[in-house]
């Protein structure tokens, strides 16, 4: 999960996806990062922590990190929150295989950055949660259909 500073959107996506993966007993390695380096080592934004806690998801143990090229080898999917993040991450990709792992988290849409607008945290949480559920169902349905 990748956004700009790794303190708002990507920690929410990381926490929500991990929560849902655990609920479905999926042994997934999930992480998040930012394309920028401003917040390295810091906790997620308190507004992200608060909205996640209201839904039984804990983010306070996460720490911001900057996206590293080694993540292309470490992860099967690199889901970015907006087109700016998409460009920044693709710029670091060296092969077609690496580029193929990178996609917008919402498919064709972008997750709005709530950093400057407190009122966006609730709809951003809802949007991310719905899409994480979509990803889980996509995986579960693909796994079930391929095992028949």
d(CA 134, CA 58): 21
- Which residues are paired to 109 by β-bridges? 106
CA 54 to chain centre: 19
Q: Does residue 147 sit in helix, strand or coil?
A: coil
Strand partners, 79: 103
Angle (CA) 14 41 25, round 5°: 25
CA–CA separation, 138 and 52 (whole Å): 23
Measured CA to CA, the distance from residue 50 to residue 65 in angstroms comes to 20
Q: Which residue has the tokens 């909205």?
A: 51
Catalytic residues: 3, 9, 113
């Amino acid at each position: 999960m990748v956004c700009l500073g790794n303190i708002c959107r990507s920690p929410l996506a990381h926490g929500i996806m991990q929560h849902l993966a655990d609920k479905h007993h999926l042994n997934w390695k999930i992480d998040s990062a930012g394309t920028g380096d401003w917040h390295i080592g810091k906790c997620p934004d308190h507004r992200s922590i608060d909205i996640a806690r209201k839904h039984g998801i804990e983010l306070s143990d996460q720490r911001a990190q900057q996206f590293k090229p080694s993540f292309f080898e470490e992860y099967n999917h690199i889901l970015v929150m907006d087109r700016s993040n998409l460009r920044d991450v693709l710029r670091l990709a060296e092969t077609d295989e690496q580029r193929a792992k990178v996609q917008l988290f919402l498919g064709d849409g972008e997750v709005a950055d709530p950093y400057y607008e407190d009122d966006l945290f609730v709809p951003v949480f809802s949007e991310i949660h719905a899409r994480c559920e979509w990803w889980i169902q996509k995986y579960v349905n693909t796994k079930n259909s391929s095992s028949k």
